[in-house]
């Protein structure tokens, strides 16, 4: 009886049309698995969690006198907290690990976006960590080369269900001539817990 059933299935399968194996596209799945989930500046992680950094308005063109001259730095922090923010875990950040069209790969800065964007300037992001001076814990003010993995990213240890990551940003001149306009851009990030 089993042989008859198998023979019948094979005969039926030979009558079915062949399935085409061409690909019409790709679906990419992304995410992360973590046992720590901190609130960021009081908000749940996700696409709608936006940290606004005011780099200044009405910055005079006279601030930009040569390539690599910049505006004053604006400091900002990512304040991590919440009951799921597990004590003893180390947290660091990966800026735009999936690639963002807002990054100038040659400078590692953010390009300005929008129809009325200023020209000749970009946004430079740097670490702004103030070390304790003990156990090799030193200041880290290094520019972050966006679009590349940091060799030694800033890292904070969660204690009391909180941690802070400190940064600063400014407009940086990238061309001989700067033209006035809006100075808007953004970058996505992912927190990594160890």
Residue boundaries of the structural domains of the chain: 35-194
**Number of Cα atoms under 13 Å in the Cβ half of residue 101:** 2
Specify the fold of 35-194: Immunoglobulin-like (2.60.40)
Q: What phi, psi does 62 have (nearest 5°)?
A: -65, -15
d(CA 162, CA 79) in angstroms, rounded, equals: 7
pLDDT tier for residue 97 given thresholds of 50, 70 and 90? low
Q: What phi, psi does 187 have (nearest 5°)?
A: -145, 140
Q: Output the 3-class SS for 66-131.
A: CCCCECCCEEEEEEEECCCCCCCCEEEEEECCCCCCCEECCCCEECCCCCCECECEEEEEEECECC
List, for residues 140-154, the tens digit of each pLDDT value.
Answer: 888 999 988 888 889
* pLDDT exceeds cutoff 60 at 6: no
The fraction of the chain above a pLDDT of 90, given in percent, is: 57
Going from the C-alpha of 179 to that of each of 46, 67, 103, 186, the distances in angstroms are 35, 13, 20, 20
pLDDT tier for residue 26 given thresholds of 50, 70 and 90? low
Give me 143's structure tokens: 């520019």
Give me the pLDDT at residue 107, please.
95
List, for residues 151-194, the tens digit of each pLDDT value.
Answer: 888 999 999 999 999 999 999 999 999 999 999 999 988 898 98
């Amino acid at each position: 009886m089993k042989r008859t059933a198998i023979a019948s299935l094979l005969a039926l399968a030979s009558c079915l049309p062949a399935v085409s194996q061409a690909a019409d596209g790709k679906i990419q799945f992304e995410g992360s698995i973590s046992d720590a989930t901190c609130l960021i500046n009081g908000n749940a992680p996700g696409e709608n969690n936006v940290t606004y950094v005011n780099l200044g308005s009405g910055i005079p063109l006279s601030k930009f006198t040569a390539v690599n001259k910049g505006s004053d730095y604006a400091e900002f922090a990512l304040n991590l907290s919440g009951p799921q923010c597990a004590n003893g875990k180390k947290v660091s950040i990966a800026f735009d690990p999936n690639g963002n069209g807002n990054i100038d790969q040659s400078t590692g800065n953010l390009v300005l976006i929008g129809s009325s964007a200023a020209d000749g300037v970009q946004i430079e992001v740097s670490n702004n960590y103030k070390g304790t001076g003990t156990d090799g814990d030193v200041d880290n003010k290094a520019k972050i080369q966006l679009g590349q993995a940091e060799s030694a990213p800033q890292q904070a240890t969660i204690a009391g269900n909180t941690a802070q990551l400190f940064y600063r940003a400014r407009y940086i001149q990238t061309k001989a001539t700067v033209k006035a306009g809006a100075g808007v851009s953004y970058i996505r990030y992912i927190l990594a817990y160890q």
